[in-house]
Structure 1
């Protein structure tokens, strides 16, 4: 029997308060809330989904501030990630605004960007990606990822898939907010359904970027 019973409202309250006082003192006083209301249910959620999608990595709550001017010590969200290929996978997150799911390829190198654009330029595979993205957008998913404001070098501005060619990473996601089912086991069903919707995008990325 699954131990996942939902994401409690206390998780959203925790991050709302953390946004007001993101200090080590506040964190130490409220770490038990993080453990009970954020980390434990998110771990249980990923375990429920692992049979179909694979084991997830739960990201650490501390920010890496070594090379950042922003020294705020803690992330104001909790994310979990299932990798299916280099820099490619499913994602789920909870923060003060509620639940969010996403998937795609999140990071890129010069070589992988060049490879991505070459495949997008291909009439068959590029058109396939355009259909996948259009289908996800029609279902209410938002397209994300880093992208150029201008045309990438070597591609004409009137290319039929110029909008996709501008991408340096490509994701699709949906914010659920705080629906009535968030704090129930039904939450896992909604994340599962969303990840299934995103699977064609991930499979396309896995095939062309791996």
Structure 2
């Protein structure tokens, strides 16, 4: 499972973000990061599947960065990001990096018909319920990124009571306050699964409104 050694590897990678260093530490990458991440993701997937009542799949994001259009040419991401999706349009997110453990839930980007469904839902009666959910999560200290659009999209009026939600093209709520060591050890998947339950109202709303 993930451990202090995982964090130590990521810390060292951040300080030595070069291909020669990574090649010299490839074995350490496998034992401290890659294999523990697979075990953690597999067990947390089972727990989220049981909790949501629908199949959930995990995606461990690549360590190698896409440098084609990047100004920053460091070759590796010095973090571990895992997404868990399948039970509705949203995904649970776990991010571990030096100095930070972040949990999240939501939709990283509404596209096509899903964007249309999102706007219809938040503009209608369901939108008031979502506002209440987000206010409750915010009162518990969770973070919501600002809307992407500066203006309310047509055909909705600029003074719509849920203008801020209509200006969104994504919706993810973040928990930045989980203790780092809650992701470490054999009991970590159970602890993280419990922590992710705080997003249950948002999960239920997205699953119902954007089905």
Tell me which interval the TM-score lies in, with the shorter structure as reference length.
0.7 to 0.9
Q: How does 1:150-161 map to 2 (within 5 A)?
A: 150-161=151-162
Matching residue within 81, 91, 98 for 1:89 = 91
Q: Structure 1 residues 168-177 or 197-206, which shifts more? A: 197-206
1:63 pairs with one of 62, 65, 83: 65
Mapped to 1, the partners of 2:81 and 2:163 lie a distance apart of 31
CA distance in 2, matches of 1:157, 1:47: 45
Assess, with a 3 A threshold, how the Cα gap between structure 1 residues 200 and 113 changes in structure 2: closer, same or farther.
same
Counterparts in 2 of 1:149 and 1:18: CA distance versus 1, 3 Å: farther
> Residue 38 of structure 2: which of 24, 39, 43 is its match?
43
Q: Is the 8 A contact 1:99 1:178 kept in 2?
A: yes
**Coordinate RMSD, CA, aligned:** 2.4
SS of 1:56's equivalent?
A: strand
Question: Aligned pair count?
Answer: 204
Give yes or no for contact 1:57–1:82 (8 Å, CA) kept in 2. Answer: yes
Tell which deviates more after alignment, 17-26 or 98-107.
Answer: 17-26
3-state SS of 1:199 partner:
helix
Q: 1:88 to 1:48 in 2, by over 3 A?
A: same
- In structure 1, the residue corresponding to 2:37 is in which secondary structure? helix
Aligned partners of 1:55 and 1:80: how far apart in 2? 10
1:181 deviates by 4.0
3-state SS, counterpart of residue 176 of structure 2 = strand
User: How big is each residue's C-alpha offset from its partner over 1:101-127, in whole Å with a ceiling of 9 and x where there is no partner?
Assistant: 11101122244323211110002x111
Alpha-carbon offset, residue 146 of structure 1: 5.4
**Equivalent residue for 2:79?**
77
1:112 aligns with 2:114: yes
TM-score (norm 2): 0.83
Uncovered stretches (5+) of structure 2, i.e. residues with no partner? 49-55
Q: Which residue of 1 aligns with 2:129?
A: 128
**Does the Cα contact within 8 Å between 1:84 and 1:206 map onto a contact in 2?**
no
- Taking a change above 3 Å as real, the CA distance of residues 25 and 87 of structure 1, as seen in their structure-2 partners, is farther
1:102 maps to which residue?
A: 104
Q: How far apart in 1 are the matches of 2:114 and 2:162?
A: 18
Secondary structure of residue in 1 paired with 2:165: helix
Moved more, 99-108 or 61-70: 61-70
For structure 1, which runs of at least 5 residues remain unmatched after alignment? none
1:186-201 aligned at under 5 Å gives the runs 186-201=187-202
